[in-house]
Structure 1
């Protein structure tokens, strides 16, 4: 029997080719697992949402193998998907949210499955399910919304969950609350995004379409050449999008999205790989400098996080260009399962409230 002061939370983070899960008991992780999906299995499905039954069954099978009693759960937390713009923090998963993600999401994305699967597991157990710091959290200052073209309004879309969580940790390390610091956070994974956290809010961001190129994304490219490419006859809408997202960045230059592979090639004397990798670090550093101007250079810390933050080579190249701005803190990994669990835990303890999603 689990004490009423002990909360067990299942966290679910669907990715494009895998689903990561973890169970936390209060702040302590009991176990975690990554459920890999073979490419030939995924190819059977027309959309991410079509993978629901397969992924849900795999999660339940994994929990069964761990002999984990589902009835001991207090809540289920799923990664928030492509909803309309949200505020930071927790949202209770409702049928209205599930229907929106199933039938009319803003974009096709693996994270759309997070809330749907969480709700399907929690509902029969009569416990709540939540999303926390979804990718569509939008707290931009109004001045940051101008793009240069009235028909296009800048919108926030970034690795909110991890960047807010590590910003909270670094603020605590500095002996301050999150609302007392200015932090530039950079998440480096398959895509690279950045944010400025000031007064507890993400007041500006660089999305993976506006900032540096990354392992799989082209990032910011010259717009006139992009228009020319799209109208060259060589691409339709789908292939042009794929060229920018999924086949850009390191994939386009070097044929791989694995930074570890690039570093092995550099160590083996591949001068071109070294030049491309340095260019990525150069663009990341430029983006951090750009973000620092949002708070007039008054930055308490720069955070480098995400999977690529494990790379001493890349961190060294970036740090050398930006440490004049503020101390550089490196927090490797995604930390998203822990962030989901701790967010839900604060709600269960009454330290934070949970909002309701209202579909437009």
Structure 2
């Protein structure tokens, strides 16, 4: 076992590469950055050039990829299907399996794979680990993961609920338990990851038992530009009656729906500003957003049976005071009692915003997906080295 204690976390998207170098002894970030506009004229031409820029930037700070302090590289991977349910040491066979999963995540897995392949060429001797967004949700029972369609058809085309934002849900549910002074195994938490993409998860004793996103990240809550839940026959109606093609429907539901489709804005700060000025369209969008959120809160309360905490996270969840207020209004009979003064407080620290007598704790927990990826990566590498 080496004394290396740093993990480089890479998130390779279709047109960007985000990176953070994390010191595992204290969680500090000696370096972080973002390469954007990959492939656009006049910018970074491709992912190879982007990773070279990352390596050069780290080297300029004396933190190069050849540093003996670097223990591993952890990669965010969006879709692991049913094959990858834990952090996974990357091999040629793992990369090939990720290629076979591309039909389930055609916008994300190819970019993830590209970043992995380039990083492996830059440091072929270094352990590299894939941490999958879907992995945390693999503990869902079949009753939650299965859709009620013909089983043979579902199996043939890998149609089931996979869920996403798994690293965030795992990190936030664990941090919420810590806030309560308990182990994750002793706590039931509803986690609300509310960003431009949004999802809810019911976490029982540290294990996901249900989540709102499904085969794709489109299902569930109202999001910035995505519709979330809707009658599937709407798609047939739009095609048969409206003449919309499959690609046009895909664009409509993923890019021109949600808050943006309802009121023209997908930024909750702008929407609440418009509401304050009396904008009725913005008010309706906000109300629809909150109504869907409350439906999932109630549903997951029933799924869990006992709820110890509700945790808000991500951009909207951490910062939008009116969303938290509206989502929990009138739920005192369920044991949820929000402290309205604490809800107004701005902070970057995990905190409770419920009253001392609230049976269900309400928390705001800033998510840290990069740290979760680093911890899972470092833990796996240490286990392999000590075996």
TM superposition score category, shorter chain reference: 0.7 to 0.9
Preserved CA contact (<8 Å) 1:211 1:284: no
Preserved CA contact (<8 Å) 1:81 1:113: no
> What residue in structure 1 maps to residue 363 of structure 2?
329
Question: Shift of residue 352 of structure 1?
Answer: 11
d(CA) in 2 for partners of 1:336, 1:111: 18
> What residue in structure 2 maps to residue 187 of structure 1?
193
C-alpha RMSD of matched pairs (Å): 3.0
Question: Shift of residue 35 of structure 1?
Answer: 2.5
- Rg larger in structure: 2
Question: Shift of residue 348 of structure 1?
Answer: 3.3
> What residue in structure 1 maps to residue 341 of structure 2?
none
> What residue in structure 1 maps to residue 183 of structure 2?
177
Partner SS for 2:30? strand
Structure 2: gaps spanning 5 or more residues: 337-359
Please state if 1:290 is matched with 2:288: no
> What residue in structure 1 maps to residue 51 of structure 2?
56
> What residue in structure 1 maps to residue 270 of structure 2?
261
- Show the 5 A alignment for 1:268-307: 268-296=277-305, 298-307=306-315
Q: Deviations over 1:131-179 (max 9, x none)?
A: 2243355222022134332245531222101110111111122232222
Question: Shift of residue 308 of structure 1?
Answer: 1.3
Partner SS for 1:138? helix
Structure 1 pair 41–173 and aligned structure 2 pair: CA distance change class (3 A): farther
Structure 1 pair 351–206 and aligned structure 2 pair: CA distance change class (3 A): farther
Partner SS for 1:11? strand
Preserved CA contact (<8 Å) 1:138 1:155: no
Please state if 1:36 is matched with 2:69: no
d(CA) in 2 for partners of 1:97, 1:110: 16
Partner SS for 1:28? coil
TM-score (normalizing by structure 2): 0.79
Structure 1 pair 268–352 and aligned structure 2 pair: CA distance change class (3 A): farther
d(CA) in 1 for partners of 2:315, 2:110: 21
d(CA) in 2 for partners of 1:163, 1:109: 22
> What residue in structure 1 maps to residue 344 of structure 2?
none
Please state if 1:70 is matched with 2:76: no
Question: Aligned match of 2:258 in 246, 249, 258?
Answer: 249
Question: Shift of residue 273 of structure 1?
Answer: 0.6
Structure 1 pair 163–7 and aligned structure 2 pair: CA distance change class (3 A): same
> What residue in structure 2 maps to residue 234 of structure 1?
243
Question: Aligned match of 1:162 in 129, 147, 168?
Answer: 168
d(CA) in 2 for partners of 1:233, 1:343: 47
> What residue in structure 2 maps to residue 358 of structure 1?
none
d(CA) in 1 for partners of 2:90, 2:204: 28
Preserved CA contact (<8 Å) 2:262 2:281: no
> What residue in structure 2 maps to residue 144 of structure 1?
144
Structure 1 pair 168–104 and aligned structure 2 pair: CA distance change class (3 A): closer
Preserved CA contact (<8 Å) 1:80 1:112: no
d(CA) in 2 for partners of 1:43, 1:217: 29
Structure 1 pair 322–17 and aligned structure 2 pair: CA distance change class (3 A): farther
TM-score (normalizing by structure 1): 0.84
> What residue in structure 2 maps to residue 48 of structure 1?
none
> What residue in structure 1 maps to residue 118 of structure 2?
120
Question: Shift of residue 218 of structure 1?
Answer: 0.4
Question: Aligned match of 1:222 in 203, 225, 231?
Answer: 231
Question: Shift of residue 282 of structure 1?
Answer: 1.9
Question: Shift of residue 65 of structure 1?
Answer: 4.6
> What residue in structure 1 maps to residue 94 of structure 2?
97
Structure 1 pair 86–160 and aligned structure 2 pair: CA distance change class (3 A): farther
Partner SS for 2:270? helix
Partner SS for 1:56? helix
d(CA) in 2 for partners of 1:176, 1:344: 24
Question: Aligned match of 2:23 in 4, 22, 25?
Answer: 25
Preserved CA contact (<8 Å) 1:81 1:101: no
Q: Deviations over 1:58-102 (max 9, x none)?
A: 433443454422112210001113232245431111112223444
Structure 1 pair 258–307 and aligned structure 2 pair: CA distance change class (3 A): same
